[in-house]
Amino acid sequence: MALLEIEHLKKYFPSPRGTVHAVDDITFSINKGETMGLVGESGCGKSTLGRTIIHLLESTDGVIRFEGKDVTHLKKDGLKKLREDMQIIFQDPYSSLNPRLTLRDTVMEPLKLSGRYTDAQVQAETDRLMDLVGLEKRFRESYPHELDGGRRQRVGIARAIALNPKFVVCDEPVSALDVSIQAQILNLLMDLQEEYDLTYLFVTHDLSVVRHISTNICVMYLGQMVETAPTQELFDHPMHPYTKALLSAIPTVDIHNRTERILLKGEINSPINPKPGCRFAKRCLYATERCHEPVELQEVAPGHFCSCPRAKELSL
């Protein structure tokens, strides 16, 4: 069953030079216990989408449904209740923790605010959470600046799962960490998912990480979804020229089977008042006239959607 569905979700920002189409008409759903990987380059709107879904930003248009209920326009009490179910882990464990609270106080805060627990229970629950994320006892009274990035991120995770949320947005949770620490945190996130049947929206620009953790993947380019498919299908049969280029650009450690690089020309264009048509057309090797007319997602294989009008004929 779909835990979260979003339909035609939009988030626009006004700017002196015009309207920024940060998230432009995105539709997908995530089943309970699964992970949707959201990939794309910086500035493509993936973090904005994550934050709009959990109501850190107000959506401009579209519908967000959580457990079958329309939660798009919730306010006050309803929103407070929803926030217990929807949480976020931020990218930068250095700036997302309050520097003036000890780690223990940070994890305790949501427990106290919820009003679910007595004082004694709050203490016990805090310890349980910190055990769960593997934060050693000797660090629990420390302040964030005294810890390394990996441990700080563990605190960020403990805080996010404190009230047993059903859905967690992981916004580049391992991008700021070294590979060996990154692997520890990814393992932790997957263990927690198994144990508590959590549903993740995993936002990242790192395709090897997303492949490792996701059930489905959604590729974004300049505010739009260009392709979505189950993970294996997307890596085996990428249909959109952008996805193809993105996959080929990943440096791999296999020195004997090098794959051919597709080098994209130019850079991502501006999301301010974009022209109709495929937004990738300007950099695309296969663009034709009709790519400048409005494009729509089409089902190219079961569960596999792609917005490229030439996807089928190109068979990349």
Which residues 6+ apart lie within 8 Å of 265 measured at CB? 283
Task: Decide: is 312 part of the binding site for other proteins (CB under 8 A).
Answer: no
The reply on whether position 260 binds other proteins by CB under 8 A is no
Which one, of 301, 303, 302, lies nearest residue 312 by Cα? 301
Of positions 22, 89, 186, 203, contacts other proteins by CB under 8 A: 186
Among the candidate windows 5-13, 111-119, 244-252, 272-280, which touches other proteins by CB under 8 A? 244-252
Q: How far is the CB of 315 from other proteins (least distance, A)?
A: 22
Q: Which residues contact 260 (CB under 8 A, 6 or more apart)?
A: 248
Q: Which is nearer to other proteins, 10 or 205 (CB)?
A: 205
Q: Which is nearer to other proteins, 95 or 164 (CB)?
A: 95
> Residue 133's CB: how many other CB atoms inside 10 A?
22
Give the x-and-dash track for 31-60 against other proteins (CB under 8 A): ----------xx------------------
Q: Which of 91, 51, 50 is nearest to 177 (CA)?
A: 91
Which amino acid does the sequence have at 208?
S
- Closer of 261 and 290 to other proteins (Cβ): 261
Q: Is 92 in the site for other proteins (CB under 8 A)?
A: no
**Do the beta carbons of residue 107 and residue 124 sit within 8 Å?**
no
Sheet of 69-70: strand order equals 18-31, 2-15, 61-66, 69-70
Task: Determine contact, residues 278/287, Cβ cutoff 8 Å.
Answer: yes
147-166 residues near other proteins, rule: CB under 8 A = 148-150
The identity of residue 227, as a single letter, is E
Tell me which of 15, 98, 164, 187 binds other proteins, using CB under 8 A.
187
Binding of other proteins by 219 (CB under 8 A): no
State how far the Cα of 62 lies from the Cα of 8, in Å rounded to an integer: 5
Q: What is the DSSP letter of 44?
A: S
Chosen residue from 1, 137, 252, 276 binding other proteins by CB under 8 A? 252
Q: What is the rounded distance in angstroms from the CA atom of residue 316 to the CA atom of residue 306?
A: 12
Binds other proteins (CB under 8 A): choice among 250, 272, 285, 301:
250
Q: Is 42 buried (19+), middle (13-18) or exposed (0-12) by CB count in 10 A?
A: exposed
Stretch that binds other proteins, among 14-22, 86-94, 252-260, 305-313 (CB under 8 A): 252-260
Whichever of 40 and 165 has its CB closer to other proteins, that residue is: 40
Whole-number minimum distance, CB 1 to other proteins, in Å? Answer: 24
CB burial string 98-121: b at 16+ within 10 A, e below:
eeeebbbebbbbbbeeeeeeeeee
Please give the backbone phi and psi of residue 67, each rounded to the nearest 5 degrees, phi first.
50, 40
Is there binding between residue 94 and other proteins (CB under 8 A)?
A: no
The smaller minimum CB distance to other proteins, of residues 65 and 211, is found at 211
Under rule CB under 8 A, residue 1 binds other proteins: no
Q: Which stretch binds other proteins (CB under 8 A): 64-72, 110-118, 143-151, 307-315?
A: 143-151
Shortest distance in whole angstroms from residue 43 CB to other proteins: 9
Distance, in Å, from the CA atom of 214 to the CA atom of 36, rounded to the nearest integer, reads 6
Binding site for other proteins (CB under 8 A): 41-42, 148-150, 178-184, 186-187, 190, 205, 207-209, 211-213, 235, 245-246, 248-255, 261, 263-264, 267-268
